[in-house]
Structure 1
Amino acid sequence: MLEVLGLDHGQEAAYFALLDGSALGLDELVGRTGLEADILKGALTRLEDGGLVSRLTGEPARWTVLPPEHAIEVLLLARERDIRRVRALTQWLGEKHRKGRIGQDAAALIEVITGPEAVARCGQQLFAGAEREVRGIDAPPYAQAGDGSSVNSSANMASRGVRSRFIYGRDNLTLPGTIGRIERDMAYGEEVRILPRAPMKIIMADGQAGLIPLVATPQVLDSCILVRPSALLDALSALFETLWQQAQPYVPDGLGAAVAGEDGPTEDERRILSLLALGLSDDAIARQLGIGLRTVQRRVQALLVRLGAGSRFQAGVLAADRGWWRPTPRPRSQAPGERV
């Protein structure tokens, strides 16, 4: 259990034997742990050096545990420092390796990844390795990990303070479950904008790597190109930022600061308004809500009647006038990678 902190079996056994607060001698620890005295002597010395136990004065020697909440916290901080140093070393080694390969072969700037498992693993590594920001244009098909789960790490990135920005094509919103997935990711802090059509599929991490399909419009995502720092990656980054400025911010529920009250929209009307504002057809709305097309048509018509609107456009204007629909204003222009 404590091996993650660098404790071996002997140290862990001795530590747990002392946890009840007793001050124990070597013979007592041998009896409790079943370990040989020589092994316990070395384990106790290392535990004492690590600040986990203290040797009491007097003879025979006896040891007691120091408050775990403080002692283990010190070990955790030390291990975190070690991890940061190893991560920095890994980046340095990777950069040195890339520079060496570039000098020998320009093809080192890109790598073709083949096979669904390899593509999923590469995508997971991009998400897991990002330290500042992940950007992407989301479009099907999606890579599947070995356990069948999609490559998706919004919660994990949020816990690490990594910014996440994704663009979706409006046509992708018609796929069942897409809007629910978007709003779950947004709950973890993902920023989402919508374009009429997603021109391509891409994931970029920290401006250090990008992943794009090998085929422009694949039916199955079984091959990709991994792009390393280069003019090509710079161009992909610039394309994303241009599209990000052009895209419409996605507003969950489409309510913004909508007025609540007895005469406000029902929950069904709220969902329909938010989907209508995204430009979805009745058929697409039916798929998202999991109801029949005729049911959607009846509800849309009832909404128009309630608003006194003769068209969908007029319904949007009247809904905004009543406070039913107030889209979030477009945020100010941001530099690539800027944190808010």
Structure 2
Amino acid sequence: MYTLTGVLWGGLMLKSVNLDKAVEPVYLLLLRRPGITIAEISAVLDIADTEVKKCLDVLADLALIRRSWQDPEILMPMNPEKVFEAVLSQKQAELAKKQHEMEELRAVAARLVNEYAVEYSYGRGEACERLASVEAVRARMDDLVAATTAETLAFAPGGPQTPENRAASRPLARSLLSRSVVMKTIYLDSVRNDPGSLEHALWLSENGAETRTVPVLPLRLQIFDRRSALIPINPEDSSQGAILVEEPGIVAALYAFFRLVWETASPIAQPKRTRDISAASPQERELLRLLAEGLTDEAAARKLGISLRTERRMITEVSARLEAHSRFQLGQRAAENGLLSPDASFTAQSGMT
């Protein structure tokens, strides 16, 4: 007999394969009462035999049930673990493909921005407009928000948002949401550890906006109605101002890049998942990748929007789970567990020898 835990686990698996709501109770009943007949299922669930048979056809296609060898009228559930593993493998492959596409688009976007925005200074009314100060950017933002009618998309890097930034953004957000404009924002995972930033992100979600987080973002970005985009003149220092881009090709590339990042991001209200000793969170994976690329602890912490102390604590925790006693060994163990490329290694830095 299947335990209650097994039944609940089976229900979660069914959601992962997007079964119709009518099919799920049929399968769960089979888990609880293996050997039940079609007539008995119909009686217990109070549905017609024809509907039961349709549900059973779906379950049979997924290899979740079989007929008894002794009596074809008796239905037996199959172990759902194999199906779940296949679904998980498929989703992991899809995620890897999207991440690869995201890296390619990141490179294309960086090249386009460099060629069409950074090297040239355009006046207002041209395909690109240079806004040389924070004040100029905020003033232009007011115009853009007022003209937006359908959608605004944003990357918000830099880790926890300052109280000033949060206060300045709320009137703009209210203006957009009051007009039923779709508003999607991606923050760094590190905002989850800052009460003020987390409260602001949740406030956006509660008021109709959509907010997600990722371990690292390449630059600050705002896209309005897929027609114009604001990007920083210097991605490392947004105080130097921004470029307003209205070149269709550049905006389309930035929009595609945003969509790929959005699909791999986690909703702000999503609970943390437990993981085994060799697993790593997206933020930890990104930290390992940055260190493998040769970044110092300080530079990696800045990229992730976290303090140096937090970055080193993360290294210590990952090293403990992987039983690594040096930076070099951490690189080896991370690669062995599929967290890095096989030839990755770290140089020795302070905190580990």
Q: What's the TM-score once normalised by structure 1's chain length?
A: 0.40
Q: What's the TM-score once normalised by structure 2's chain length?
A: 0.39
